[in-house]
């Protein structure tokens, strides 16, 4: 599998990057949506699918936020369903426990927002969420 990741002179790490006008490389995301927490891969899509089932939630995005010790920590960014009176980290943890999600996969942070940034076609722009979280950290 490692050999298959080589493309000529390049090695495909799965990271998405941009090179700015000065030639600096910046990692902006991953081609596969996983969070690497302490060496363990957290499958984001599975976690999001479970959270989408919660009756208080209308929108869900789970993203990794940098952590100096664990590399990343999971943050759930959610919008509330009409009429929902709020949603707390404790509620989310209890719900994930009821659904049988392994505790190491639970997000350590929850942000409730009015809306999630989306493309014109409706896809959630996780890179914008990450940038916003980085500014608030």
What's the confidence (pLDDT) of residue 136? 77
- The CATH number of domain 33-136, selected from 3.30.300.30, 3.40.1830.10, 2.40.30.10, 3.40.50.170: 3.30.300.30
Residue 130, pLDDT score: 92
pTM of the model: 0.77
Which residues in the chain land under pLDDT 50?
none
* Domain residue extents for the chain: 33-136
As a whole number of angstroms, the distance between CA 70 and CA 94 comes to 23
d(CA 32, CA 14): 7
What's the rounded Cα separation, in Å, for the pair 91 and 107?
12
Task: Give burial (CB, 10 Å; 0-12/13-18/19+) of 27.
Answer: exposed
Residue 113 CB contacts under 8 Å (≥ 6 apart), including other chains: 77, 78, 79
Q: Say what the pLDDT of residue 24 is.
A: 86
């Amino acid at each position: 599998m490692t050999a298959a990741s080589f493309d000529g002179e390049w090695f495909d790490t799965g990271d998405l990057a941009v090179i700015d006008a000065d030639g600096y490389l910046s990692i902006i995301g991953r081609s596969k949506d996983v969070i690497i927490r302490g060496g363990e891969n957290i499958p984001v899509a599975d976690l999001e699918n479970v959270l989408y089932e919660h009756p208080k939630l209308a929108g869900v995005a789970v993203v990794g936020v940098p952590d100096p010790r664990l590399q990343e920590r999971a943050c759930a960014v959610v919008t509330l369903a009409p009429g929902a009176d709020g949603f707390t980290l404790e509620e989310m943890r209890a719900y994930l426990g009821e659904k049988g999600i392994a505790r190491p996969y639970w997000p350590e942070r929850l942000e409730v927002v009015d809306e999630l940034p989306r493309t014109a076609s409706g896809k959630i722009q996780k890179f914008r969420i990450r940038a916003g979280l980085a500014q608030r950290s």
